[in-house]
Amino acid sequence: MTAPLDADHDTAAKAVQVTDLSVDLGGRPVLRGVDLQIRPGEVVAVLGTNGSGKSTLIKTVVGLLPAARGEVRLFGTPVPRFRQWKRVGYVPQRITAAGGVPATVYEVVSSGLLSRRRLFAPLGAAGKAAIEDALRVVDMADRRKDAVAELSGGQQQRVLIARALVSDPELLILDEPTAGVDLASQQIFADAIRERVARGTTVVMVSHDLGPMDALIDRSVILRRGRIVYDGPPHASQTHAHVHHTHADSDDSGWLTS
């Protein structure tokens, strides 16, 4: 009698629920039968080598890629029907190269508020305050009028996280936030995330190298060839990842060299 009720309750309580997910890219299976559940308030790192499917997993979770089989639920709603995007903040891998027209830091960050804005409505005082706050958190307040294209890679990445934080999301999803970012920016990044974690934000981040974020992680998930091979506490995972890494080297080195 209580069992089905509990199951229902479980679904609603999960920030992210991935069930038997398979994703194909260009006809090739990239994710195969992935199951993953993330509770509100958890800070999860998704680790794995290049091509292990970690970015694909993240993109499917936010609805940018379709599932071939299985489903992803955000806050209990299947992604294709999910409409409360203001609860989700997404930080893509890097600023898109597109953009033939200059855009300032302020303009890019303000587009993070679109999930909360009505059509044809001007930006209110609360929105402006939120933008200032997000700029301050990533230490970019004095660069607000600078063109994004003129910033360094680390600064651009900080703009992207400000854009995700500005809507005050409950679930923050980051795709390789520290790839190619200088240490000072990584530290600012980690501080910004720490502040959110302290307020109960759920964080899912994909990374090769966690850097200063390492201390924030309370669970890590390791993908290998489209399957989850480890899911548990972070420190055990690092040795595990290491083992797999060397294994992968010996296993995959053949195709180019021989």
Partner 1 sequence: MTLFELEFMQRALIAGLLTGLSAPAIGTYLVQRRLSLMGDGIGHIAITGVALGLLTGTAPVLTAVIVAIAGATAIELVRARGKASGDVALALLFYGGIAGGVLLIGLAGQGAATLNTYLFGSLTTVSASDLYVVVGLAVAVLVIAIGLGPQLFAVCQDEEFARVTGLRVQLLNLLIAVMAAVTVTVAMRTVGLLLVSALMVVPVATAQQITRSFRSTFVTACAIGVTACLAGIITSYNANVAPGATIVVLALAGFVVAATVGTLLRRRSGRIAPLDDEEPEVGVPAPAPHVVSPTHPHAHNPDCGHKKVEHGDHVDYVHDGHLHAAHGDHWDEH
- Hey, which residues between 156 and 215 contact partner 1 (CB under 8 A)? 163, 167, 183-184, 187, 194, 215
Up-side HSE of residue 10: CA atoms within 13 Å toward CB?
10
Considering only 10, 20, 66, 111, the residue that binds partner 1 (CB under 8 A) is 111
Mark 32-71 with x for binding to partner 1 (rule: CB under 8 A) and - for no binding: ---------------------------x--xxx-------
Closest to partner 1 by CB, 147 or 248: 147
In angstroms, rounded to a whole number, what is the distance separating the alpha carbons of residues 258 and 242?
25
Lookup result for tokens 């990239």: 30
Considering only 4, 7, 28, 120, the residue that binds partner 1 (CB under 8 A) is 120
24 near partner 1 (CB under 8 A): no
* Residue 43 structure tokens: 């800070």
Mark 205-224 with x for binding to partner 1 (rule: CB under 8 A) and - for no binding: ----------x---------
Q: At its nearest, how many Å lie between partner 1 and the CB of residue 91? A: 9
152 near partner 1 (CB under 8 A): yes
Q: At its nearest, how many Å lie between partner 1 and the CB of residue 6? A: 31
Closest to partner 1 by CB, 52 or 185: 185
Mark 68-107 with x for binding to partner 1 (rule: CB under 8 A) and - for no binding: ---------------xxxx-x-x-x--xx-xxxxxxx-xx
147 near partner 1 (CB under 8 A): yes
In angstroms, rounded to a whole number, what is the distance separating the alpha carbons of residues 124 and 61?
31
Q: At its nearest, how many Å lie between partner 1 and the CB of residue 62? A: 5
In angstroms, rounded to a whole number, what is the distance separating the alpha carbons of residues 45 and 41?
13
- Paired sense of beta strands 171-175 and 202-207, if any: parallel
Binding site for partner 1 (CB under 8 A): 59, 62-64, 83-86, 88, 90, 92, 95-96, 98-104, 106-108, 110-112, 114-115, 117, 119-120, 123, 145-147, 152, 163, 167, 183-184, 187, 194, 215
